[in-house]
Structure 1
Amino acid sequence: MIVNERETPEGRLVSVCDPEVLGETFANGEIDFEVNEEFYDGQPADEEEVVASLAGARVANIVGNDAVALAVEHGFVDEESVLDLGETRHAQLLRLE
């Protein structure tokens, strides 16, 4: 997986994606979703590193079947809130303080 972390005034913003979806665009009805390289490209990460990054995120955007499955498995997002984009999946995490 690929992880990108950014510090913002509101907290850490994390983007995670499966490598094969980087740069791709997916559609689901009226929704077109681009896995923008500027936003999602970062460092290769194993599952443990992705989980640690998501644990420290204030906001996270997660795309790709493997990345979303990992986020669901570790309780970062609920399965019901995952968006099906046809060939891939997308989820968002927002921690309110």
Structure 2
Amino acid sequence: MRLTERDTPEGLLVAVCDDDVLGETFEEGAVSLTVTEEFYGGEEVDESAVIDSLARADVANIVGTRAVELAIDEGFIDAGNVLEVDGTHHAQLLRM
């Protein structure tokens, strides 16, 4: 998986994606999701690094079946809040 962390005025922004979706665009009806290198193309990491980062995140964007399933399994995301766009999964996390 790829992981990027950014400190913002609103807190820690985390972007996670599966390796195989990086650079891809998914479209379904009016919804379009582009997994850009600029936003998602961070370091290649293992699951423990993703879990640690999501635990500290104030906001997170998660794309790809493996990454979203990990976020669900670890309790960060509820499965009922996952979008499926053209065969890939997308979820967002916001802590207030």
- Residue identity over aligned pairs, in percent, reads 56
Q: CA RMSD in A?
A: 0.6
| Structure 2 residue 30 is the aligned partner of structure 1 residue 30 | yes
Show structure 2 runs of 5+ residues with no match.
none
Please give the alpha-carbon distance, in whole angstroms, between the structure 2 residues aligned to 1:9 and 1:77: 23
Q: Within 5 A, what are the aligned runs for 1:12-91? A: 12-91=12-91
Measure, in 2, the Cα distance between the counterparts of 1:48 and 1:8: 23
- When the two structures are aligned, how many residues end up with a matched partner? 96
- Distance, in Å, in 2 between the alignment partners of 1:45 and 1:53 is 11
Q: Which runs of 5+ in 1 are unaligned?
A: none
**After TM superposition, where is structure 1 displaced by more than 4 Å over at least 4 residues in a row?**
none
3-state DSSP class of the match of 1:77? coil
TM-score, normalisation: structure 2:
0.98
